[in-house]
Structure 1
Amino acid sequence: MRKLILTFISILYIGCAIAQTKDATEKTGPETVVQKHRLTDSVVERFSVLKSNKGIRQGLYQALYQKNYALASGYYDNNKRAGVWHFFDNRGHLVQNFDYRTNQITYEAPEDSTSNLQYFVDVKLNDSAKTTKPLKVGGRFFGYLPYLNLFKLPPDLMNLNPNVSFGAVELLISPLGRLASFKVHVYSGSFKKTFNMSIDVPDPADKIFVPATVNGEGVSCRVLIKCAFRNDGGLEFY
Structure 2
Amino acid sequence: MHNYLLAICLLTSLTSLAQETERVVTTTGDPPVEEEYYILKGHLETKQGPYTKTTSYGTSTGQYENNVRAGVWEFYDSRGDLEQKIDFTKHEVVFSKPFKPLAKSWLLENGERKEYTSGTPPVVIGGMSAVARSITRTIRYPAKARKGGHMGDVTISATITKEGAMIDEKIETGPGHGLDEEALRVVQLIDEEWFPLTIDGEAKDARIFMIITFRLSL
Distance 2:210 2:155 in 1: 6
Q: Structure 2: state its 5+ residue gaps.
A: 1-12, 107-112
Distance 1:168 1:89 in 2: 26
- Structure 1 residue 119 and structure 2 residue 119: aligned? no
* Structure index of larger Rg: 1
Q: Which amino acid aligns with 1:120?
A: K
Distance 1:36 1:55 in 2: 17
Deviation per CA, 1:76-101, whole angstroms, max 9, x where unpaired?
22211122111233433212221222
1:25-174 to 2 correspondence within 5 Å? Answer: 25-26=16-17, 28-38=19-29, 41-42=30-31, 44-50=33-39, 52-66=42-56, 69-70=58-59, 72-105=60-93, 107-111=94-98, 116-120=100-104, 134-136=121-123, 138-141=125-128, 144=131, 148=134, 170-173=156-159
By how many angstroms is 1:73 displaced?
1.0
| SS of corresponding position for 1:119 | strand
What is the alpha-carbon root mean square deviation over aligned residues? 5.3
Distance 2:23 2:155 in 1: 37
Q: Structure 1: state its 5+ residue gaps.
A: 1-21, 213-217, 229-238
Deviation per CA, 1:174-230, whole angstroms, max 9, x where unpaired?
798975632589x9x943352579x9x999x64x61169xxxxx99653326499xx
Size of the aligned set, in residue pairs, is 179
TM-score between both structures, scaled by the size of structure 1: 0.49
TM-score between both structures, scaled by the size of structure 2: 0.52
Asked whether the 8 Å contact 1:177–1:210 carries over to 2, the reply is no
Rate the CA distance shift 1:159–1:173 in 2: closer, same or farther, 3 A. Answer: closer
Asked whether the 8 Å contact 2:159–2:169 carries over to 1, the reply is no
Rate the CA distance shift 1:55–1:145 in 2: closer, same or farther, 3 A. Answer: farther
Rate the CA distance shift 1:24–1:135 in 2: closer, same or farther, 3 A. Answer: closer
Q: Which amino acid aligns with 1:108?
A: F
Rate the CA distance shift 1:144–1:110 in 2: closer, same or farther, 3 A. Answer: closer
Q: Percent identity?
A: 18
Q: Which amino acid aligns with 2:73?
A: W
Q: Which amino acid aligns with 2:179?
A: K
By how many angstroms is 1:42 displaced?
4.1
